[in-house]
Every structure is written in C-alpha cells, then in structure tokens.
Amino acid sequence: MDNFEKQFKRIEDNLLQAMKDEGRSNRDFVRQEIQASEKRVTDKLMGEIQATEQRIVDSVSDVLSGSVLPQLDNHEQRLTKLETKPA
C-alpha cells in the first residue's frame, strides 16, 4: 500500500506541475496577444492622428490662401497708396 501511495503522490505532483506549466504557457500567450493587439491599435491611431493633423494643416493653409492673404495684400496696397499720396 505504501508503494501505491508514493506512486499516486508522484502522479498527483506531476499532474499539478503540468497544470501549472499549462497555465503559465496560456498566460504568456494571452500577454503576447494583448501586446500585439495594443501595438496594432496604437499604430492605427497614430496613422489616423497624423492624417487628421495633415487635414488641419491643409485646411488652415486653404483659409490663409483663400481669404486672409488676399485681404492682407489688399490692405497693403491701400496703405501704399496712402503713403505715396501727395499731401
């Protein structure tokens, strides 16, 4: 009976160790998947942020070119006329 108990204990210990190893392996796998997902999401968001920044810069440039700069040119021309106008 003593031999049976030793064998049973050894089997039980081996089974517990195998379960711990499997759990550790699963945790490592899940951690790697989470990190990979996080990187994919981060990369996608960075791409979208850069695209949004470019659209903002383009929009501001269009506003400046379309209305602000011509108004400044107009004011500059009027100021030049006033400065060169004989007193």
What is the span of the domain harbouring residue 20? 1-87
Exposure class string for 42-73: b at 16+ Cβ within 10 A, else e: eeeeeeeeeeeeeeeeeeeeeeeeeeeeeeee
Amino acid, res. 59: S
pLDDT digit string (tens) for 5-58? 999 999 999 999 999 999 999 999 999 999 999 999 999 999 999 999 999 999
pLDDT at 82 over 90: no
Q: For the chain, how many structural domains are there in total? A: 1
Is the whole model's pTM more than 0.95, yes or no? Answer: no
